[in-house]
């Protein structure tokens, strides 16, 4: 399967589409990723995420776009810096992140695809001609209404399998970067390689990256990647580094392992320390590390675990705020209050203790930021400090 500039040249982009219609505009928008100045590259990246991978959705144009991106990863031009996350990193890192995001979105598309027995019939050549003409039409109503046709449902249902078919070629393009001289490139390459391998249903060879790993950040990315592709991470649960132990514990295959769950709870006993673990945070953690740990710990816990997790809540709550509350303490509250009905019943001593913890942090109750209050509402709890105090009996 072709990658790189051959894809840009040889693809019939008029027979593809993205979030805003025909993919015929793709070459002019994508070419600057390789040849443009920094501003043009940033605009091209905006096109990738705004049209080609719009809000985490893959389209038929996503497949050749990903193959193009994969094929240019080795270009020296991508050593140029790009502003990402407030810091300056090579633009190559950004494109590796796009490939990982596209692979994960395609996997999600496969998961939610219409079953074959219920899928709409394959469109006829005449239907395809009509649909692609409508997608490229200057008539906005025509281009918009075509999305409502069964033909488009059939075409969208193809995208996941087409991305899966491209996964080996994407992986082969990313693989050389697993041993790149730059540690940051190796990290992003591990994430991309694992994502496309998982999409393709095969195991990535991360041994080269593991041999070159120089720091905690790299080791964590590798262990997280192994967990995400279904490898056994048990051996890392006894690693000397608590960050590596936690990354091993986060593997889905460890969900039923009490030792792994205990590692998550132990890490949250020092949430500020966990937040400071990484100089270059693995993409697995989209925000504060403690947010992910609290979410996974809550998912693996039952109401009967609430008392055991009370010290964890007491450690996390002082760091929280009304903007962050839903992401950290809110996840732990779900263990003690698994349904809205529980909040209206006679409370247990443990439930009252959970509510009392919330009252000790003024930052959770700042006015004008409703995030945490919405979370409390979803749990069937009062949304104001006075109501929580009355319910807790303090």
Rounded mean pLDDT for each run of 10 residues along the chain, 394 residues in total:
94 96 96 88 94 96 98 91 65 95 96 77 91 90 88 93 97 97 95 97 94 95 96 96 98 96 97 96 94 97 96 96 93 89 73 93 82 89 91 84
How far apart, in whole angstroms, are the C-alpha atoms of residue 276 and residue 286? 14
pLDDT value, residue 320: 95
Q: What gap in Å lies between CA 110 and CA 89, rounded to an integer?
A: 32
Distances (CA, A) of 214 to 177, 188, 209, 223: 15, 15, 10, 14
Coil/strand/helix, residue 63: helix
The C-alpha atoms of residue 67 and residue 61 are separated, in whole angstroms, by 10
Q: Could you tell me the two tokens for 382? A: 């009062």
Q: Both tokens of residue 140?
A: 């906005």
Prediction pTM value: 0.89
The DSSP annotation for 320-386 comes to: --TTTTTTTHHHHHHHH--SHHHHHSPPPHHHHHHHHHHHT-GGGG-TT--HHHHHHHHTT--SSHH
Output the pLDDT for position 36.
Answer: 82
- pLDDT, position 83: 58
């Amino acid at each position: 399967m072709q990658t790189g500039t051959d894809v840009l040249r040889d693809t019939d982009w008029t027979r593809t589409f993205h979030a805003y219609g025909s993919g015929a505009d793709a070459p002019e928008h994508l070419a600057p990723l390789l040849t443009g100045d920094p501003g043009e590259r940033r605009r091209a990246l905006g096109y990738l995420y705004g049209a080609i991978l719009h809000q985490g959705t893959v389209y038929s144009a996503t497949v050749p776009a990903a193959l193009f991106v994969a094929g240019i990863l080795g270009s020296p031009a991508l050593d140029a810096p790009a502003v990402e996350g407030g810091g300056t990193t090579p633009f190559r890192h950004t494109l590796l992140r796009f490939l990982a995001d596209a692979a994960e979105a395609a996997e999600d598309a496969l998961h939610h695809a219409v079953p074959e027995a219920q899928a709409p019939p394959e469109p006829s050549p005449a239907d395809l001609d009509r649909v692609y003409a409508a997608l490229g039409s200057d008539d906005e109503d025509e281009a918009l209404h075509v999305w409502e046709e069964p033909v488009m449902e059939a075409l969208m249902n193809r995208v996941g399998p087409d991305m899966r078919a491209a996964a080996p070629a994407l992986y082969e393009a990313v693989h050389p970067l697993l041993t790149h001289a730059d540690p940051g490139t190796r990290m992003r390459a591990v994430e991309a390689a694992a994502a496309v391998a998982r999409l393709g249903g095969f195991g990535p060879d991360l041994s080269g990256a593991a041999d070159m790993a120089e720091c905690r950040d790299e080791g964590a990315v590798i262990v997280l990647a192994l967990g995400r592709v279904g490898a056994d991470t048990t051996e890392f649960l006894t690693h000397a580094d608590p960050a590596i132990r936690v990354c091993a514990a986060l593997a889905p295959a460890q969900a039923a392992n009490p030792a792994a769950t205990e590692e998550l709870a132990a890490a949250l006993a020092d949430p500020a320390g966990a937040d400071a673990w990484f100089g270059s945070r693995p993409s697995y953690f989209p925000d504060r590390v403690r947010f992910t740990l609290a979410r996974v710990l809550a998912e693996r816990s039952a109401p009967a675990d609430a008392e055991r997790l009370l010290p964890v809540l007491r450690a996390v709550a002082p760091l929280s705020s009304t903007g962050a509350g839903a992401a950290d303490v809110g996840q732990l509250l779900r263990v003690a209050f698994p349904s809205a009905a529980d909040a209206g019943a006679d409370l247990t001593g443990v439930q009252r203790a959970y509510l009392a913890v919330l009252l000790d942090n003024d930052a959770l109750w700042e006015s004008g930021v409703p995030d945490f209050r919405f979370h409390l509402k979803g749990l069937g709890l009062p949304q104001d400090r006075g109501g929580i105090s009355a319910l807790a009996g303090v």
